[in-house]
């Protein structure tokens, strides 16, 4: 299933004790539909406040039904939470939404204007000071490739290795909107938001491209500026083998 959600009202994708998660909401919706207690697996574990345009999930369902009925039932029972199943299909029993993904695409949205946000409030990072998107894009390229991203991961990150291959990190301006596009097979916890926070410093003129290189080579979380807030981040899509 491909799922879209507004992350604002929820504690993230994964089940938590302190509130409703996307995973829990869908699991409870399935149980209301057919009485089965299922486990929802997702292509990415988005944090509280992070959105998804194309989160891929899978469930193992014993009930004989159709994909269309499953999709309709989940969309009905998750109300009023801002979660929507966009499409649904039967797959082989060995398919796994997380482990079979060969790439994940994220987009981070900055609205760069003096006026406060209204329509996009909670859906973007509002930065009122002017940002140089070209300088941000140029600095971003030093992060592309195989790197030790210790500086750019959360201290709570559980990944065994800090080494990741970043396939794309582009900064694109369209009027007052700046989109930062990140693609990789997988990311470390807070990696995208950490890179965004660093590039924002470059855009303000507080950091240079060399400062980004120095931070990367330091392999030290304390060398990082700060994280971009969660509301600007979107899981756009997960890619699977043909």
State the 10-residue block means of pLDDT for the chain, 242 residues long: 97 95 98 96 96 98 95 98 98 96 98 98 98 99 98 89 97 99 97 98 98 96 91 98 88
Dihedral of CA atoms 23, 236, 192, 241 in degrees, nearest 10, equals: 90
The C-alpha atoms of residue 59 and residue 91 are separated, in whole angstroms, by 10
- Nearest alpha carbon to residue 185 among 228, 240, 131, 233: 240
Coarse DSSP helix, strand, coil percentages of the chain, rounded to the nearest 5 percent: 30, 30, 45
Q: Greatest CA span in the chain, whole angstroms?
A: 59
Q: Which residue range is the domain that position 33 belongs to?
A: 2-87
Task: Give the pairing of strands 83-87 and 163-174.
Answer: unpaired
**Closest to 52 measured CA to CA, from 121, 132, 123, 145:** 123
Cα–Cα distance, 22 to 6 (Å, whole number): 10
What integer pLDDT is reported at residue 159 of this predicted model? 87
Hey, how many other C-beta atoms are within 10 angstroms of the C-beta on 129?
Answer: 10
How far apart (Å, rounded) are the C-alpha atoms in residues 98 and 42?
6
Q: Tell me, yes or no, whether 93 lies in a domain.
A: no
Q: Are 234 and 116 found together in one domain?
A: yes
Q: Do 117 and 190 fall within a single domain?
A: yes
pLDDT of residue 86: 98
Q: Is 95 part of a structural domain of the chain?
A: no
202 and 141 fall within a common domain: yes
Query: In CATH, what number is assigned to the domain containing residue 135?
Result: 3.30.70.660
Which tens digit of pLDDT belongs to each residue from 214-233?
A: 999 999 998 887 899 999 99
Q: What is the pLDDT of residue 156?
A: 85
What pLDDT score does 198 carry?
A: 97
Residues 173-193: tens digit of each pLDDT: 999 999 999 999 999 999 999
Token reading at 34: 């057919």
pLDDT for 155: 86
What pLDDT score does 46 carry? 95
152 φ/ψ angles, rounded to the nearest 5 degrees:
-105, 25
pLDDT confidence of residue 164: 97
Instruction: State the CATH number of the domain containing residue 22.
Output: 3.30.70.580
Are 115 and 161 in the same domain? yes
CA separation for the pair 13, 98 (Å, rounded): 13
* Set 47, 132, 148, 211: catalytic member: 47
pTM of this structure: 0.95
Number of domain units in the chain? 2
Would you say 39 and 14 are in contact if contact means Cβ atoms under 8 Å apart?
no
Establish whether 100 is a catalytic residue: no
Q: Are residues 157 and 133 in the same domain?
A: yes
């Amino acid at each position: 299933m491909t799922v879209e959600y507004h992350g604002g009202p929820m504690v993230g994708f994964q089940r938590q004790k302190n509130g409703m998660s996307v995973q829990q909401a869908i699991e409870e919706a399935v149980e209301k539909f057919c009485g089965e207690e299922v486990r929802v697996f997702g292509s990415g574990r988005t944090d509280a406040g992070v959105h998804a345009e194309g989160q891929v999930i899978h469930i193992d369902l014993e009930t004989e039904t159709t994909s269309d009925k499953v999709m309709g039932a989940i969309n009905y029972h998750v109300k009023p939470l801002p979660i929507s199943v966009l499409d649904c299909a039967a797959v082989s029993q060995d398919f796994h939404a997380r482990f079979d993904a060969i790439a994940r695409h994220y987009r981070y949205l900055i609205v760069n204007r003096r006026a406060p946000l209204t329509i996009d409030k909670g859906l973007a990072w509002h930065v009122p000071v002017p940002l140089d998107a070209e300088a941000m894009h140029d600095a971003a390229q030093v992060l592309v490739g195989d790197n030790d991203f210790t500086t750019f991961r959360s201290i709570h990150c559980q990944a065994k290795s800090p080494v990741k291959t970043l396939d794309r990190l582009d900064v694109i301006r369209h009027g007052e909107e700046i989109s930062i596009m990140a693609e990789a097979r997988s990311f470390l916890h807070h990696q995208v938001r950490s890179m965004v926070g660093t590039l924002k410093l470059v855009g303000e003129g507080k950091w240079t491209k060399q400062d980004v290189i120095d931070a990367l080579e330091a392999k030290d979380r304390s060398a990082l500026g700060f994280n971009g807030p969660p509301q600007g981040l979107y899981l756009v899509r997960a890619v699977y083998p043909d």
